[in-house]
Amino acid sequence: MATSIRAAADGGPSPAPPAAAPGPTRPPTAADRSGSRRSRLYRWDMKATPYAFVAPFFVCFAAFGLFPLLYTGWLSLHRVELGGKSEWRGLDNYTALADSDFFWNALGNTFTLGVLSTVPQLLMALGLAHLLNYRLRGRGFLRVAVLAPYATSIAAATLVFAQLFNSDYGLVNTLLGWVGFEPVDWESSRWPAQIAISVIVIWRWTGYNALIYLAAMQAVPKDLYEAAALDGASRWRQFTSVTIPSIRPTILFTVVVSTIGATQLFGEPMLYGGSLGVSGGSGNQYQTLSLLMYEKGWVTGALGQASAIAWVMLLLLLLIGAVRLLAARRARTRDERDPTGRAAG
């Protein structure tokens, strides 16, 4: 104390009081341990919950997507018959496809059916969506009506169209006879049969794609149309210079999806041919890759060759997807370089 008084008298700082001796440490109670456990559970829950939400998708994908894909790849490298043992063949199934006239015929039919069904379908859907985009009376009813063919089952639609295109008593040949044309063999001839099947596909999918285009058109800013109208652009000019460039990603999407669907075409040609549907007609005139794969796997029992066809189709679909990705990237790059070109057309 004397030292403190002396230091204060001298004007110097007073020394700090001595630190108190540390008391005994309190052991953690049950409440502390429970709180710590809840904190750890909370942190674990925050980390694991997102994975728990997406886990069902990956489980289903692994069971119904990845495993069949890998198993089909394994089958394509073996000689497998129903009820028999498997035998390693390597790439023999693929080389057999390359040497098969039936495979190349099915590949050509798949391509021609895809072109005949996809191009008119998307053009008609684009025009139909453009009409529905106007303020017409009964727009709601028309939008539901154009979607009705898509809601119709493939079996019902194909059987009805098969009767319409019947070579003997079909309505189409009757109408052709009224205007002076000879009856057309819509079942046994290659091109007429493929046109008839394409009509079925067009009828079913045009309204669906039209609604997709309509949704994209309604997202186009109205300012672009007003600016084009002030510049004296006609309705057709606005459609080609404003609407089409604005919905170009949607058009590209529908082109890819429709092409994939045409590559997998199965139900329409299968049911159109009746008892000859699996072989694609009496002369394989409309047998697609899907029909050939079905025939190899479940009619002749050659599961190895059927699996090889499935993998060829997968490679074709991957190629189509790569082309779509490349086209989208090039379009995006072009828009970034010339941002005014999209609106100016």
pLDDT digits (tens, 9 = 90+) for 47-100: 777 888 888 898 999 999 899 999 999 999 999 877 777 889 889 999 999 999
Q: Give the highest mean pLDDT range of 12-16, 94-98, 318-322.
A: 94-98
Burial class (CB in 10 A: 0-12, 13-18, 19+), 181: exposed
* Residue 345 binned pLDDT confidence (cut-offs 50, 70, 90): very low
Buried/exposed code over 104-125 (b: 16+ C-beta within 10 A; e: otherwise): ebbbebbebbbebbbeebbebb
Average pLDDT, the chain: 84
Q: Specify whether the CB–CB gap between 320 and 256 falls below 8 A.
A: yes
| Full set of structural domains in the chain with CATH | 38-88 (no CATH), 99-344 (1.10.3720.10)
pLDDT of residue 271: 92
- Distance in angstroms (rounded) separating the CA atoms of residues 113 and 278: 16
- Distance in angstroms (rounded) separating the CA atoms of residues 267 and 154: 7
Amino acid in position 27 = P
Q: Specify whether the CB–CB gap between 149 and 203 falls below 8 A.
A: yes
* Residue 8 binned pLDDT confidence (cut-offs 50, 70, 90): very low
- Distance in angstroms (rounded) separating the CA atoms of residues 331 and 325: 10
- Distance in angstroms (rounded) separating the CA atoms of residues 199 and 187: 14
| pLDDT tens column, 239-271 | 999 999 999 989 989 998 999 999 999 999 999
Count of residues making up the chain: 345
Q: Specify whether the CB–CB gap between 273 and 194 falls below 8 A.
A: no
Tokens representing residue 182 in the block: 């000879």
Q: Is the pTM of this model over 0.75?
A: yes
* Residue 5 binned pLDDT confidence (cut-offs 50, 70, 90): very low
**One-letter-per-residue 3-state SS of 174-243:** HHHHHCCCCCCCCCCCHHHHHHHHHHHHHHHHHHHHHHHHHHHHHCCCHHHHHHHHHCCCCHHHHHHHHH
pLDDT of residue 96: 93
Amino acid in position 230 = L
Least confident of 54-63, 199-208, 270-279: 270-279
